[in-house]
């Protein structure tokens, strides 16, 4: 038996963290072993359901390949077990050496998708600040930062998840919900049952397209042209929310002028979507506005000009009037809580965060550095060297672009520490590998912004010798002399209490309510009684902030690279990232029965293209 469970027999109610949907689950325990996972009731997000990855959490927990002891790389490249105390002593000593020699900013901290976006992320951000480095990285450079910025720049808030069930029209751009967001499917089914129309925009035959009323396949990276074409149609027809635009927005004239060239024919030329399909989508929007839900997925931000293409769609949503209504871009209200980031207590001045010169908006809005630029700094091509990195819950050697460069960069570091459950490709480059705790070994606060609910992930098990994420940062901080000041809590339960303090919700209350507690009732149309949280207090159709930074104020459409540089030599375009239900980025490839279902890597390609002799693949 690998772990010891907190209870001997019975059910522990907690949240699944095999993905960030965080469905409620019941973990069944018998004779101190976890024997099964069933969906938990009462959570409006998963509504008593779960997906196949949820049940696989036990296979992950009990996996024979899990790292149980810290490992240190020897000079010949092999790894040897080392005690946790000794590993942390040595890591702290090496960090101080880097700080002395090159400055604190030559150390970076990188958190990955596997620990999520709230408490565990804030530990990593806090640790970086307390150490004195601006160089906090995360998976989000390749994930939701683009979407966050696209929404935030227009409305001042980000809530990508509408209440689809209330919509008369749902428009999905570059997203694959049955695979990536299973809980949305029940909402779509309810909306469909109420007669809603569904429009799916995806260059590939996405499974949800089978349920679509209109399925349009733009050339990758051209959604901005489609968005502008739809904006133009609404404006020309006078079919937009006049009151909202007149009283609550700035920059409309610029939008009208810029939209002019996006005739259906020009949109067709850019996107490949037939002009009459563009018009039909616009008609559906007009017929159903304002009860329109837009969702922009990762498919948009993984291309050139992604943020602006998303901004254009957010503008379109605002024109329809679907702003802070029960199916549109809802304006979420945060829970009063203590944040862990230290951003107010320890402002960082003049430290040149990596990538902030080229990507000032990313750093300004997210206080996060550009992970792809980090590779250049590691390889000595930056303003200063990045010499050390602590990576937790990420596998950039697989999930970041340009694998060879990433591996070379990681391999060039003086200190690479990887905190993971498994010996990954990234871990293979590390000087120290630390065994990470899975979500079943953590207790953390989770906030579901869509429903304004707060939950507690209950810890189900302890594994001897393995410490949770908090204890990693705590134990290192105490070796670096800022432990008492910034990591004073002895365990996660104490941190949880600290986070909750201002909320008026107690930890015991959350323990008694595994289905979560709503911290504030949902309200809509808040912009009618208070300014929006943008600098102007209005919808920024044109952004004075971006203009000040020297960017175009309007989200201009820029044709993607493959259209700008059309090449006969490379006639095909590869998009990567159409996910599989069972795999999660680089995760779960080591689960035997998942692999049996997908024994080989797959490429989706049109049969005519595949039939070309140049495409013959050696088997
Ligand atoms: N099973 C599983 N679920 C996951 C994940 C996983 O790895 N596995 N990852 C999770 C994470 S972290 C994230 S961020 C989400 C992502 O989930 P989503 O936001 O739903 O995005 P993707 O699944 O990446 O879907 C991208 C879709 O966009 C399409 N696409 C590609 N280029 C374009 C384009 O230019 N325009 C348009 N309109 N479409 C385009 C692709 O063909 C694909 O179908 O999924 C989460 N859920
Ligand atoms: N080509 C291409 N690349 C992409 C994408 C794409 O669509 N196409 N999608 C991008 C997106 S949206 C994202 S979010 C990133 C994700 O990129 P990463 O953040 O690198 O995510 P994962 O590959 O899921 O790696 C997570 C690691 O955490 C480990 N782990 C699992 N549970 C825990 C835990 O509880 N604690 C700790 N410490 N470790 C744990 C896993 O073993 C795994 O090695 O990938 C991006 N990369
Ligand atoms: S969708 Fe699946 S993997 Fe994600 S939290 Fe729910 S059950 Fe877990
Ligand atoms: Mo992501």
Separation of 243 CA from ligand 4 center, angstroms?
Answer: 36
Question: Which residues are CB-contacts of 41 (< 8 A; sequence separation ≥ 6)?
Answer: 24, 48, 515
Give me ligand 2 centre to Cα 392, in Å: 10
- Which atom of ligand 3 is nearest the CA belonging to 49? 7
Distance (angstroms) between ligand 2 centre and the Cα of 281 equals 35
**Interval 71-122: pLDDT, tens:** 999 999 999 999 999 999 999 999 999 999 999 999 999 999 999 889 999 9
Query: How far apart are the CA of 399 and the centre of ligand 4, in A?
Result: 10
pLDDT tens, 477-498? 999 999 999 999 999 999 999 9
Collect residues with CB below 5 Å from ion ligand 4: 143
Query: What is the whole-number distance in angstroms between the Cα of residue 526 and the centre of ligand 2?
Result: 36
- Helical axes 223-236 vs 275-288, angle rounded to 10°: 60
Q: Which of 19, 42, 61 is the C-terminal boundary of a domain?
A: 61
Q: What is the pLDDT of residues 573-614, one digit of tens each?
A: 899 878 999 999 999 999 999 999 999 988 999 899 888 776
Final residue belonging to a domain, choices 14, 40, 61: 61
Question: Where does the pLDDT of residue 32 fall: very low under 50, low under 70, confident under 90, or very high at 90 and above?
Answer: very high
Per-residue confidence (pLDDT) for residue 159, from 0 to 100: 80
Residue 565 lies in a domain: no
Same domain for 167 and 270, yes or no, is: yes
Residue with tokens 């004073």: 488
Q: How far apart are CA 61 and CA 56, in angstroms?
A: 9
The verdict on the CB of residue 420 being under 6 Å from ligand 2 is: yes
Phi, psi of 65 (to 5 degrees): -90, 5
Indicate if 290 and 348 belong to the same structural domain: no
Which atom of ligand 2 sits closest to the CA of residue 112? 19
Which residues does a 6 A CB cutoff place in the pocket of ligand 3?
16, 18-19, 21-23, 46, 50-51, 53-54, 182
Is 318 in the same domain as 395? no
Q: Do 19 and 53 form a contact (C-beta atoms < 8 A)?
A: yes
Number of the ligand 1 atom closest to the C-alpha atom of 302: 32
Same domain, 364 and 504: yes
Buried b (16+ CB within 10 A) or exposed e, 218-227: bbbbbbbbbb
As given in the structure block, the two tokens for residue 336 are 């009063």
**What is the predicted pLDDT for the residue at 2?**
66
The model's pTM is: 0.97
Is 174 a pocket residue for ligand 1 (Cβ < 6 Å)?
A: yes
Say which CATH number the domain at 99 has: 3.40.50.740
Name which of 305, 298, 319 is nearest 222 in CA terms: 305
Query: According to the model, what pLDDT value does residue 412 have?
Result: 98
Give the list of residues 6+ apart from residue 47 with CB closer than 8 angstroms, or none: 183, 186
Distance CA 469, CA 475 (A): 10
Ligand 1 touching residue 563 (CB < 6 A): no
Asked, for residue 336, whether it belongs to a domain, the answer is no
The answer to whether residue 387 is domain-embedded is yes
CATH of the domain at 234: 3.40.228.10
pLDDT at 615: 63
Residue of 22, 27, 40, 50 to test ligand 3 pocket, by largest number of atoms within 8 Å of CB? 50
Point out the domain boundary residue: 61, 82, 104. 61
Determine if ligand 1 sits within 6 Å of the CB of residue 143.
yes
Spacing, Cα 271 to ligand 2 middle (Å): 31
pLDDT digits (tens, 9 = 90+) for 550-562: 999 999 999 999 8
Position 581 in a domain: no
Residues 363, 298: one domain?
no
**Could you tell me if 84 and 221 lie in one domain?**
no
**Which residue out of 143, 299, 606 has the highest number of ligand 1 atoms within 8 Å of its CB and is therefore the one to mutate?**
299
Main-chain dihedrals φ then ψ at residue 417, nearest 5 degrees: -115, 130
Beta strands in 243-382 (DSSP E): 249-250, 292-296
In which band, very low, low, confident or very high, does the pLDDT at 619 lie, cut at 50, 70 and 90?
very low
316/348 same-domain check = no
Which atom of ligand 1 is nearest to 204's Cα?
42
Over residues 306-349, the pLDDT tens digits come to 999 999 999 999 999 999 999 999 999 999 999 999 999 998 87
At 616 the pLDDT is: 61
State the closest ligand 1 atom to the C-alpha of 173, by its place in the atom list counted from 1: 38
Mean pLDDT (whole number) for 27-35: 95
* Closest by Cα among 243, 235, 290 to 261: 235
Residue 579 covered by a domain: no
So what's the pLDDT on residue 126? 98
For range 400-406, the mean pLDDT: 95
State residue 570's pLDDT score.
82
* Chain segment 173-213, per-residue pLDDT in tens: 999 999 999 999 999 999 999 999 999 999 999 999 999 99
Q: How far is the CA of 418 from the centre of ligand 2 (A)?
A: 13
| DSSP three-state, residue 250 | strand
C-alpha 226 – ligand 3 centre gap (Å): 33
User: Is the per-residue pLDDT at 394 higher than 60?
Assistant: yes
Q: How many domains does the chain have?
A: 3
Q: Is residue 566 part of a domain?
A: no
Using the Cα atoms of residue 275, residue 280, residue 281 and residue 286 in order, give the sign of their dihedral.
positive
Task: Summarize the confidence of residues 4-10 as an average pLDDT.
Answer: 86
Residue 258: inside a domain, yes or no? yes
Based on the domain organization, do 406 and 503 belong to the same domain? yes
pLDDT recorded at residue 37: 97
Nearest-ligand number for the alpha carbon of 562: 1
Ligand nearest to the CA of 114: 2
Q: What is the rounded CA–CA span in Å between residue 81 and residue 92? A: 18
Do residue 378 and residue 401 come from a single domain?
yes
Whether ligand 2 lies within 6 angstroms of the CB of 424 is answered as yes
- Ligand 1 mutation target, pool 111, 146, 161, 174, most atoms within 8 A of CB: 174
Range of the domain at 117: 71-136+342-442+461-509
Nearest-CA residue for ligand 2 atom 3 is 399
Instruction: State whether 115 and 189 are in the same domain.
Output: no
Q: What is the pLDDT of residue 406?
A: 98
Check if 112 has its Cβ closer than 6 Å to any atom of ligand 1. Answer: no
- The residue nearest atom 5 of ligand 3, judged by CA position, is 22
User: What pLDDT, in 10s, does the model give residues 454-474?
Assistant: 999 999 999 999 999 999 999
Task: Among 115, 301, 577, 603, name the best residue to mutate to test ligand 1's pocket (greatest count of ligand atoms within 8 A of Cβ).
Answer: 577
Q: Which residue puts its alpha carbon closest to atom 47 of ligand 1?
A: 180
Give the residue from 398, 456, 451 showing the smallest Cα distance to 424.
Answer: 398
Mean pLDDT of the 404-425 span: 98
Q: Kindly state whether residues 346 and 412 are assigned to the same domain.
A: yes
Q: Which of 23, 176, 439 to mutate to test the pocket of ligand 3 (most atoms within 8 A of CB)?
A: 23
Asked whether residue 246 is assigned to any structural domain, the reply reads: yes
Ligand nearest to the CA of 124: 2
Tens digit of pLDDT for each residue in 218-256? 999 999 999 999 999 999 999 999 999 999 999 999 999
Q: Are residues 313 and 258 in the same domain?
A: yes
Q: Residue 160's pLDDT is what?
A: 74
Task: Please give the Cα distance from 340 to 344 (Å, whole number).
Answer: 10
The answer to whether 553 and 257 are in contact (CB under 8 A) is no
Which ligand 1 atom is at minimum distance from the Cα of 139? Answer: 12
Here the tokens at position 84 are 């946790």
Nearest CA to ligand 1 atom 25: 175
From 120, 139, 400, 437, mutation site for ligand 2 pocket: most ligand atoms within 8 A of C-beta: 139
Rounded to the nearest angstrom, the distance between the alpha carbon of 113 and the centre of ligand 4 is 7
> Which tokens is 234 given?
């609404």
Nearest listed ligand to the Cα of residue 53:
3
Average pLDDT, the chain: 95
Instruction: Provide the pLDDT for residue 617.
Output: 57
């Amino acid at each position: 038996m690998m772990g010891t469970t907190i209870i001997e027999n019975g059910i522990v109610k907690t949240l699944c963290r095999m993905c960030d949907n965080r469905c409620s689950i019941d973990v069944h325990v018998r004779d101190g072993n976890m024997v099964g996972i069933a969906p938990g009731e009462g959570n409006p997000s998963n509504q008593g359901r779960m997906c196949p990855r949820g049940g696989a959490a036990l296979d992950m927990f009990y996996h024979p390949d899990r790292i149980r002891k810290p490992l240190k790389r020897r000079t010949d490249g092999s790894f040897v077990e080392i005690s946790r105390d000794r590993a942390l002593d040595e890591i702290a000593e090496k960090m101080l050496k880097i700080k002395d020699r090159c400055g604190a900013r030559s150390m970076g901290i990188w958190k990955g998708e596997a620990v999520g976006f709230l408490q565990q992320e804030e530990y990593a951000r806090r640790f970086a600040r307390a150490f004195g480095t601006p160089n906090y990285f995360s998976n989000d450079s390749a994930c939701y930062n683009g979407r966050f910025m696209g929404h935030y720049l227009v409305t001042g808030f980000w809530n990508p998840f509408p209440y689809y069930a209330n919509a008369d029209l749902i428009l999905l751009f570059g997203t694959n919900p049955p695979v990536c967001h299973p809980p949305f499917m029940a909402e779509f089914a309810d909306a469909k049952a109420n007669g809603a129309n569904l429009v799916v925009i995806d260059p590939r035959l996405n499974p949800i397209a089978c349920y679509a009323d209109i399925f349009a396949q733009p050339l990758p990276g051209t959604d901005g042209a489609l968005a502008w074409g739809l904006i133009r149609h609404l404006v020309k027809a006078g079919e937009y929310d006049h009151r909202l635009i007149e009283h609550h927005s700035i920059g409309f004239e610029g939008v009208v002028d810029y939209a002019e060239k996006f005739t259906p024919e020009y949109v067709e030329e850019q996107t490949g979507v037939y002009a009459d399909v563009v018009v039909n989508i616009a008609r559906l929007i007009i017929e159903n506005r304002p009860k329109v839900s837009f969702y922009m997925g990762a498919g948009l931000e993984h291309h050139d000009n992604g943020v602006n293409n998303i901004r254009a769609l957010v503008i379109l949503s605002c024109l329809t009037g679907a702003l802070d209504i029960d199916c549109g871009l809802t304006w979420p209200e945060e829970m009063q809580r203590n944040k862990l980031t230290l951003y107010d207590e320890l402002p960082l001045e003049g430290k040149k965060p990596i990538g902030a010169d080229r990507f000032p908006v990313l750093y300004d809005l997210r206080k996060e550095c550009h992970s792809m630029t980090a590779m250049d700094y590691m390889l000595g091509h930056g303003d200063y060297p990045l010499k050390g990195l602590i990576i937790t819950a990420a596998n950039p050697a697989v999930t970041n672009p340009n694998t060879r460069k990433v591996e070379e960069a990681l391999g060039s570091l003086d200190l690479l520490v990887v905190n993971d459950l498994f010996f990954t490709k990234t871990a293979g480059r590390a000087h120290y590998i630390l065994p990470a705790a899975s979500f079943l070994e953590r207790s953390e606060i989770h906030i579901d912004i869509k429903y304004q609910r707060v939950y507690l992930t209950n810890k189900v098990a302890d594994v001897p010798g393995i410490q949770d994420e908090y204890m990693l940062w705590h134990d290192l901080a105490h070796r670096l002399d800022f432990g008492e000041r910034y990591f004073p809590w002895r365990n996660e339960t104490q941190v949880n209490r600290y986070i909750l303090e201002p909320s008026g919700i107690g930890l015991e209350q959350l323990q008694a309510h595994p289905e979560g507690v709503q911290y504030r009732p949902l309200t809509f149309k808040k912009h009618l009684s208070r300014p929006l949280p943008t600098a102007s207090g209005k919808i920024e159709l044109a952004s004075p902030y971006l203009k000040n930074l020297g960017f175009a104020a309007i989200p201009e459409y820029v044709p993607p690279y493959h259209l700008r540089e059309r090449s006969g030599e490379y006639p095909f375009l590869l998009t990567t990232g159409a996910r599989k239900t069972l795999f999660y980025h680089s995760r779960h490839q080591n689960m035997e029965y998942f692999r049996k279902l997908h024994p080989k890597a797959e490429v989706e390609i049109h049969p005519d293209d595949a039939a070309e002799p140049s495409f013959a693949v050696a088997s």
